[in-house]
Amino acid sequence: MDEFEKRLSEVSSGVERFVRYRLPSQTDADDVLQEVYLTAYRKFSGLKNRDAFKPWIISIARNKCNDYFRSKAAQMEISIEELSQQELSAGRLGLSVVHTVRETLDRLGDKDKQILYLYFWKELPQNEIAKLLDIPLGTVKSRLHTAKQRFKNKYPYQTRKPKGDLVMQKLPEYIPDYTIERLDAEPFSVRWEELQGWLIVPRVGQKLTWGMYDFPERRRTEYTEMEVIGKAEVHGIEGVEVVAIQFDSADYHRTGALDRVERRFVAQLTDTHSRYLAETHMEDGVRKCYTFLDGEAFLNNWGFGADNCGNEVDLHPKGLLQRSGDCITGTIPREVVDVVGRYRVTIAGKTYDTVCVMDIECYNDAVASEQFVDQNGRTVLWRRFNRDDWAVEKFGGKLWSQKLPDNERITINGETYVHWYDCISDYIL
């Protein structure tokens, strides 16, 4: 095996993830990957710093993906009237649900739209724009500067830094009493855009406080304040930046902070999925950063679905799971999420019409959860269950039914799962 093949074998999985994340078609992704590898092979002899092989070949992959989208745009002959965010955010999960770029452009004059389109989307040099529009180069520069400033002034999402700790509504020290009642009505379909496990919608301006409550004590053991503060990009994929400040975090043994841990995520919401792209936090005085290209180090903690596609935002019963009382049965592949019924949840003096979403092993092996989602697509109550033998060595060697004998139990295909803790957010307060 020559040096190129050896280095390629070490990074090829990351290159494939990078391309497949960006391209909507498996066939097109395969074609682009072949172009990436051929180009890298031809140019490898000119790479002076061989230790920089991974970022070098990723840059080739990024350029090839950009060539792909430019080619598609040229084939479609996109006109200025049809310009939208869709051309910017195509990817393997579909088009972004955010259309603010188009909305902002629609508020500009025709000359501003035209110059921005030619410069940013067609990627024409300013001298070529001058020839195309038959105007002096100086006029192009002046018009482009003015158009960019007008766009910036009208664009609603301005990136900003958080000022101090996030100020949210405090959660109660003990979880309010609640009741869960199964309804005879058919489950409704709903759009559920929250990030799996963290309850916030990855959209600029969203804020949330949520907390964990251990049972049987019902006392709050940890709470997290979150805010989506602006746009962000990871390896060329656009998302938003989420600040999460955890108080009384269970991660204190790793992070070295007894009462406060700050995490930052980059997350992406598309028309079909909600997913994590990156996570960063401090650990032993070192800033740790993980992205979707980091393989198992990222996927084991933040990846959901095949190839980290994320959680589906269109919730509806799939028929994979059936629930009767506390018994769940079905053909259960790894990482299954399904709606198992319609429920009335009364908590903190309010009543919600919800569907129950069962999540089995998406978070961890031998872990299941019930998530009660209302018609607004927001979580009212989240409940975690551990299989009886889950991580027993880590938690004192006892089965969970022995450790928490009075806690509620469910069975999944005959296996016993024991209720451990609940999560609620200030959405219900």
Over range 23-42, report the average pLDDT: 86
Whole-Å CA distances, 158 to 151, 205, 266, 370? 11, 10, 16, 36
Over range 115-124, report the average pLDDT: 74
pLDDT digits (tens, 9 = 90+) for 300-313: 778 877 667 788 89
Could you give the domains of the chain?
Answer: 3-76 (1.10.1740.10), 80-154 (1.10.10.10), 174-192+313-429 (no CATH), 194-306 (no CATH)
Please give the mean pLDDT across all residues of the chain. 82
Question: Which pLDDT belongs to residue 110?
Answer: 80
pLDDT digits (tens, 9 = 90+) for 242-299: 999 988 654 433 333 345 788 999 999 988 899 999 999 887 778 889 998 887 778 7
Tell whether the model's pLDDT for residue 66 goes beyond 60.
yes
Tell whether the model's pLDDT for residue 158 goes beyond 80.
no
Tell whether the model's pLDDT for residue 85 goes beyond 60.
no
Highest mean pLDDT (candidates 58-72, 86-100, 384-398, 400-414): 400-414
3-state SS of 225-248 is EEEEEEEEEECCEEEEEEEEEEEC
Question: Which pLDDT belongs to residue 223?
Answer: 87
Peptide bond into 162 cis (omega under 30): no
* Helix axis angle, 26-43 to 53-76, nearest 10°: 130
Looking from the CA of 112 toward its CB, the CA atoms found within 13 Å total 17
CA distance 115 to 129: 8
pLDDT digits (tens, 9 = 90+) for 3-19: 888 899 888 888 888 88
Lowest pLDDT segment from 58-67, 94-103, 267-276: 94-103
pTM to 2 decimals?
Answer: 0.66
